[in-house]
Amino acid sequence: MSNSQASKFFNAIKTYHTHINDDFEQPQIIIPKLRSYQRRAVKWMVDREKNNILIKSDGSPFSGGILADEMGLGKTVEMLCCIMENTAPPEFYDQNIIIKDSIKKPLVQSPSKPSTSKYIAYTNDKDLKIKSTSSSRSMLENWYKNILSEMSTVPKKAIESNFDEDTHIVACYCKETPPKSILVYCAMCGKGQHAQCVHFEPKPFQEVPYMCSNCWILNDRLQCKATLIVVPQSILNQWIDEIEKHIAKPGLKVYVYNGVHSDGYIQPFSFGDYDIVITSYNTLSRDLNYVANVNVENQNSTRLRHSKRYNYPQSPLPCIKWWRICLDEGQAIESASSKVCDMTLNLRSVHKWAMTGTPIQKSLNDLYGILKFLEVSPFCHRKQFLQLMKGEERVMYEYFSKLIWRSSIEDVNAELNLPKLTNEQHWLTFSQIEKYFYLSQHDDCATIFSNCVTRLFPSLDISIKNIDRKSIFTIIGPLYKLRQACVHPQAVNGQFLKIKGTMTMEKLMDVMIDKCRVECNDILRSLVSQHNALAGLYLIRAEPDNAVEQYRTVLGLMDKYKDKKIKIDTCQKIHVMYNLATVIDENTNVSHALNDSDLKRDMELLEKEYLDATKQNIESTRKTVLFYSDKVAKIIENKTLGYSDWWSDMLDWIFSPNDFLAKVQMELEDYRVPGVPNIANRLKSVNDVYNILGVWLADLDTARIDTISILKTLEETPMNDLVQSALICHLRLKSKKGNSKNRRCLLCKAEMELQVYESLLFSVSNKQKNTLVDKTEENDQETLYECTSKGLWKMSQKEFLLMKLFQYGQAKIINKSCLEDAAEHMKVLELVRKEFRYLRLLWTHLSDSLSAHDEIVMAKSRLRLGENGDSFMQSEADGPPKKKSKREDENDVIMEQYVDYNVISLTGDIPITSSLLEQRIGTLLYLENLKKEKENSTEVDTCPICCLNGDAGWAVLLCGHSVCNQCLATMCNHSDAFDIVCPMCRSNTPMDSISYVKNNREGEVSNIVIKGSFSTKIESVTLKLIELITQDPNVKVLIFSNWDKALNLLGEALDQNSINFRILKTGKKYKKTLKDFKSNKKINALLMKLSLGSKGLNLTEATRVFFMEPIINKADELQAIGRIHRIGQTKPTFVHNFIIRDSIEENITNVFSGAMFDRWDDITLSQLIRVFERNESNLILEQNDDLSE
């Protein structure tokens, strides 16, 4: 729904309220003087509560409505006025608690102690014989009752009652009996709980019958004078502050309800002592877990083998009929299927209110969730609601005018007299290294976005709200990455994860240079491969001179790029040196060079260095393996991994095996790993646990011994023998059917043992294990090496089961010596897991060493001519020949008919690759020059053409050379409008690839120096904040961002520049953070995520709002501004938007400025595509025009 449609709806409703005047006399207890529009609102609200017009779904009169005043207009004060004006009359709540007749007599009832509110001391009296018996006898009695209950259909509690008539039934919610506790017994069911556990503490002379939480649900709802207010967690403390601020002494009694999970069970009658009970939506959602249907008649039914072993309290909120319920930020229940909405349907009250400044966010359908909460008939039902939406507008407006009160800032602006709000935009320019990083990100993200949209959607006119959730995440990911790149490179998800701390721009420069150098190495590697292939083809054609020329070209490339730290692979070097030396020896007529005699010696040195690197890795890993193996050996002392029987003893000691198994099964379900069969379903009894653990420990010990043994054999076997067997096995896979597992090399056999050991020690999916069986030999070998070194380092389910058994023993303190053995055993298993990682690494290094020997052999080979039929294989039958698979093809074989074609193809490809290499090397030089200029910022180079300093700025060409802007303008006028020729090296640079460097940043303040090296965005925000603090040391600023990472990076910048700030996050410190910011004048900035702090908070202590990035959802932006520009603000307010030029942020600002969107959901795909457009060409034209001028 657009802004105009929402305005039309609210304006139509307001026409029905014009007759309401402001002749309302506010309660004296309200401190602030209400404005005229507030008095009208409160008058309407009180009228809605006292004069019932509508009815509820149950046929009773409806009272309440929706207070929808725009944000910042004082809805909190209006609700407090309504609460004080229409308080609950005494006859509503001042009544005795009437207990329904007990549906069933209690199983045990002490003749000497009635089941009422009387206290029963939990002491060592003879009346409570369980306490007076010895611990041994108690254990035997418990064991007897446990066994008896398993053999009988009679519930356990009934058996207990027959065991001793004077023993009372205790069904408390605690795990252990509190010291010096007092038992109270339910007046309905007769069951007892500890008074301390259920917070049963009646006042002196207060006759209150005790009922358990289940019976409170069955009894009539307790009528309570309090108003229950439900608020978002983020503004709960603010509500308390507002009540204290606006209500005169002695004020109102307020209670904060934190839920059963946090506070335990609170007696329903306790809420009657308060005027207001405040809770949060999170608490309501959690309390839904403590709301269940209770039936006393069936709670001891014999349908179950056992009675309930554990007792859980019910939430007290549904047991009460409140005088009033109010939902602040009522749009939280717009989803009628949410947990919060489900919980609110369990609550009852005389009056119901929903407060929200944005009742309509997507469409009028948002109102249904609120109507369902209000239970106003008939439109709290979906069918009737939809009929109302489709019906006549006049009928809809008339109906909602009886439910909704709306005042907008425009309507009451004259009454508010708010100070002026000023918007400022700060246009920033990327530094050169940031621009380079951003453009590389932009190319990737734009391509991903375009491909996703084209693949998923036939039309671009579809809006975001009509796209499924999974597709939204797919297409929005690139947008988020680009927006994050505008803030700081490290803010981009998935980027620079290995870098600890904040990445400086100097570090970013180094990372970009290293990345560019890697790209140069890749291209150079391709170029060398092309030269080597062409040399091999020339030798096939008997043209040794041309082959030698190609090899010498490669040697020239090695020397040319040595200084730029661009290297050729060692194997490529060996190939060139070996084959060049061979050709020279075989052909005496070819040209010679001075260093030809050193080729073989240099090649041998390279081979030695290449092999020595793998040997060092093997030796280092072997030492680590021995370290962990020695640790394990010292503990187990020549025993097996199942050397201790602690776990079997503990299984025998478990008092309630069914409970233990149920708990373990549940935790194993949560521990599930995709592809791994869960053993939870196999745990039917304690014997199953015993068998599973016993077999697993035995298999684990065998697998460990076999693995260590075969790896030792692998190390001792001569490398030449390993290479020969590996050649037959997998390094040179032939098309022999019947290459059975018996012919596997020792390396593959060791891998098989590691796979078996790994599957026992860790959670390895069946998908991985199955790759080792039921495959043909060629597929088997391929998948074997695909899964090498893969898997999860997550303990196996059997070890997890063992750990849970150990934790159970710790909790029950079964036997200290048993627990000591258990702790030692768990430590052994942990060491074994660590040992395996290095066993796996040792195998990997051995495999690498074997591969290195083979790679040297392969490096010396060159293209050879194949015989006819080499590319085909004969089938077993007499059918046509089958083409070989890629794996069976030999890369060094070429058919004669393809030789000339490949010579022509490579001759054409080499110049293209060379050109691409030069471009990337130019980029590398450009980045290195940028780094050099930043390091020597005080030194100003001269232009190579005019020999003057480039005060106005520089133009950097792809080759890395620079010219001043004036000379570049002259060069552009004499060029063909497509390329610029470098005056130094004569290489061509496309005009759209020229980079421009400015000597001074836009808007840089010379007398303020930022400490640290951060991104343009973070430095600009920090700089602006320093300026404001310089003008007013007590200034307070709210800084919003969409991402925690961006706020953390900004926080580091503020910290380095000695600016006091706080970051607002959910948790225990939330209230303290807000209080510090409001009360401490030395704290100048409050940083918060937009989703956390944009709704409900009152922060009029601040006068400025900073948006670190453009906000797409304008409703969220207005909400954030509303934190400072609202009632109570006495100073002028300012909004600062920080926008990067020539980036996605500028596109967002241009596309959505002035657009009529209520929400982000209304944006279409075609508009998103415009956001990804690059205006780099326009920028170049503008810069060239500036240069010409």
The whole-number average pLDDT for the span 678-706 is 86
pLDDT at 225: 93
Residue 228: phi and psi, rounded to 5, are -90, 120
Ranges assigned E (strand) in 236-328: 254-256, 276-280, 320-328
Determine the Cα angle at 715 with ends 712 and 716, to 5°: 90
List 421's β-bridge partners, or say none.
1133
The whole-number average pLDDT for the span 70-96 is 89
934-963 exposure pattern, b = at least 16 Cβ within 10 A, e = fewer: eeeeeeeeebeeeeeebeebbbbbbbbbbb
Q: How far apart are CA 907 and CA 910, in angstroms?
A: 6
For residues 1096 and 1087, the model is more confident at: 1087
Is the model's pLDDT at 1022 over the cut of 70?
A: yes
Q: Is domain 1-99+216-302+315-402 given the CATH code 3.30.160.270 in the classification?
A: no
Transcribe 136-197 into DSSP letters.
HHHHHHHHHHHHHHHH-SS-HHHHHHHH-TTPPPB--S-SSPPTT-EEEE-TTT--EEETTT
- H/E stretch holding 923 reads helix 899-935
* Burial category of 107 from C-beta neighbours within 10 Å (exposed 0-12, middle 13-18, buried 19 and up): middle
Is the model's pLDDT at 103 over the cut of 80?
A: no
pLDDT at 150: 47
Q: Which of 140-149, 355-364, 751-760, 951-960 has the highest mean pLDDT?
A: 751-760
pLDDT at 1061: 93
Give residue 66's pLDDT band: very low, low, confident or very high (50, 70, 90). Answer: very high
| Other CB atoms within 10 Å distance of the CB of residue 1068 | 7
Angle between the N-to-C axes of helices 646-653 and 686-716, in degrees from 0 to 180, rounded to the nearest 10: 170
CA of residue 239 relative to chain centroid, distance? 31
pLDDT at 598: 86
Cβ-contact 277, 255 below 8 angstroms: yes
Is the model's pLDDT at 1083 over the cut of 90?
A: yes
Give residue 269's pLDDT band: very low, low, confident or very high (50, 70, 90). Answer: confident
pLDDT at 79: 94
Q: Give the tokens for residue 716.
A: 């001792």
Nearest to 1095 by CA among 271, 71, 126: 71
Lowest mean pLDDT among 533-537, 567-571, 675-679, 764-768: 764-768
Q: Is domain 418-504+1012-1189 given the CATH code 3.30.70.120 in the classification?
A: no
- H/E stretch holding 996 reads strand 995-997
For residues 1128 and 914, the model is more confident at: 914
Give residue 112's pLDDT band: very low, low, confident or very high (50, 70, 90). Answer: very low
Distances in whole angstroms, Cα of residue 621 to Cα of each of 190, 616, 838: 69, 9, 6
Q: How far apart are CA 535 and CA 1018, in angstroms?
A: 54
Is the model's pLDDT at 928 over the cut of 70?
A: yes
- H/E stretch holding 1105 reads strand 1104-1107
| Other CB atoms within 10 Å distance of the CB of residue 1113 | 20
Q: Which amino acid is at 1053?
A: A
Give residue 1059's pLDDT band: very low, low, confident or very high (50, 70, 90). Answer: very high
The whole-number average pLDDT for the span 388-401 is 84
Q: How far apart are CA 268 and CA 295, in angstroms?
A: 19
Dihedral Cα 386, 389, 395, 398, nearest 10 deg: 100
pTM: 0.59
pLDDT at 250: 84
Q: Give the tokens for residue 1059.
A: 């600016």
Q: Give the tokens for residue 759.
A: 């599957």
Q: How far apart are CA 71 and CA 1118, in angstroms?
A: 9
pLDDT at 1: 46
Is the model's pLDDT at 908 over the cut of 80?
A: yes
Strands 222-231 and 182-185: unpaired
Q: Give the tokens for residue 390.
A: 């489709």
Give residue 123's pLDDT band: very low, low, confident or very high (50, 70, 90). Answer: very low
pLDDT at 111: 34
The whole-number average pLDDT for the span 1012-1041 is 90
Query: In CATH terms, are 418-504+1012-1189 and 940-997 the same topology?
Result: no
pLDDT at 815: 63
SS3 sequence of 864-918: EECCCCCCEECCCCCCCCEECCCCCCCCCEECHHHHHHHHHHHHHHHHHHHHHHH
Give residue 1028's pLDDT band: very low, low, confident or very high (50, 70, 90). Answer: very high
Cβ-contact 213, 314 below 8 angstroms: yes
Is the model's pLDDT at 784 over the cut of 90?
A: no
Nearest to 45 by CA among 28, 69, 29: 69
For residues 167 and 275, the model is more confident at: 275
- H/E stretch holding 706 reads helix 686-716
Dihedral Cα 1143, 1148, 1151, 1153, nearest 10 deg: -120
Q: 357 in the Ramachandran plot: left (φ > 0), alpha (ψ -120 to 50) or beta?
A: alpha
Q: Give the tokens for residue 227.
A: 């108003």
Cβ-contact 1154, 451 below 8 angstroms: no
Percent of the chain past pLDDT 70, that is, above it, reads 78
Ranges assigned E (strand) in 402-450: 404-405, 421-428
CA of residue 517 relative to chain centroid, distance? 32
Distances in whole angstroms, Cα of residue 944 to Cα of each of 297, 619, 958, 962, 999: 99, 55, 16, 8, 18
Q: Which amino acid is at 1006?
A: S
pLDDT at 110: 34
Q: How far apart are CA 701 and CA 641, in angstroms?
A: 5
Transcribe 468-526 into DSSP letters.
-HHHHHHHHHHHHHHHHHHH-GGGSTTSSTT--SPPPHHHHHHHHHHHHHHHHHHHHHH
Is the model's pLDDT at 921 over the cut of 60?
A: yes
Mean pLDDT (the chain, rounded): 77
* Burial category of 55 from C-beta neighbours within 10 Å (exposed 0-12, middle 13-18, buried 19 and up): middle
The whole-number average pLDDT for the span 1038-1057 is 90
Q: Give the tokens for residue 646.
A: 């602690």
Tell me the pLDDT tens digit for each residue of 654-674.
Answer: 766 777 888 888 888 777 777
Lowest mean pLDDT among 157-161, 240-244, 1112-1116, 1129-1133: 157-161
940-997 CATH, one of 3.30.2310.20, 2.60.40.10, 3.40.50.620, 3.30.40.10:
3.30.40.10
Q: How far apart are CA 976 and CA 970, in angstroms?
A: 12
Is the model's pLDDT at 1152 over the cut of 60?
A: yes
pLDDT at 504: 65
Q: Which of 155-164, 390-399, 501-510 has the highest mean pLDDT?
A: 390-399
Give residue 1101's pLDDT band: very low, low, confident or very high (50, 70, 90). Answer: very high
Nearest to 56 by CA among 366, 325, 335, 381: 381
- H/E stretch holding 585 reads helix 570-586
Residues 6+ apart with CB under 8 A from 926: 956, 957, 958, 960, 995
Q: How far apart are CA 426 and CA 1073, in angstroms?
A: 28
For residues 927 and 281, the model is more confident at: 281
Lowest mean pLDDT among 538-547, 725-734, 785-794, 892-901: 785-794
CA of residue 86 relative to chain centroid, distance? 47
Tell me the pLDDT tens digit for each residue of 604-635.
Answer: 898 888 888 888 888 999 999 999 989 888 88
Cβ-contact 188, 165 below 8 angstroms: no
Q: How far apart are CA 584 and CA 576, in angstroms?
A: 12
Tell me the pLDDT tens digit for each residue of 86-99.
Answer: 999 998 888 777 77
Q: 496 in the Ramachandran plot: left (φ > 0), alpha (ψ -120 to 50) or beta?
A: left
Lowest mean pLDDT among 551-555, 697-701, 731-735, 783-787: 783-787
Is the model's pLDDT at 285 over the cut of 90?
A: no
Residues 6+ apart with CB under 8 A from 91: none
Distances in whole angstroms, Cα of residue 907 to Cα of each of 532, 538, 672, 751, 911: 12, 12, 56, 44, 8
Cβ-contact 488, 906 below 8 angstroms: no
Is the model's pLDDT at 1164 over the cut of 60?
A: yes
Q: How far apart are CA 131 and CA 114, in angstroms?
A: 21
Q: How far apart are CA 455 and CA 1169, in angstroms?
A: 14
Give residue 336's pLDDT band: very low, low, confident or very high (50, 70, 90). Answer: low
pLDDT at 514: 82
For residues 105 and 1072, the model is more confident at: 1072
pLDDT at 142: 53
Give residue 1181's pLDDT band: very low, low, confident or very high (50, 70, 90). Answer: very low
pLDDT at 654: 73
Q: Which amino acid is at 547?
A: A
List 1038's β-bridge partners, or say none.
1086, 1105
Domain boundaries, the chain: 1-99+216-302+315-402, 101-210, 418-504+1012-1189, 645-853, 940-997
Tell me the pLDDT tens digit for each residue of 19-56.
Answer: 888 888 889 899 989 999 999 999 999 999 988 788 88
693-706 exposure pattern, b = at least 16 Cβ within 10 A, e = fewer: beebbebbbebbeb
Determine the Cα angle at 1019 with ends 1013 and 1024, to 5°: 150
Is the model's pLDDT at 1158 over the cut of 70?
A: no
Lowest mean pLDDT among 115-129, 489-503, 1133-1147: 115-129
Give residue 906's pLDDT band: very low, low, confident or very high (50, 70, 90). Answer: very high
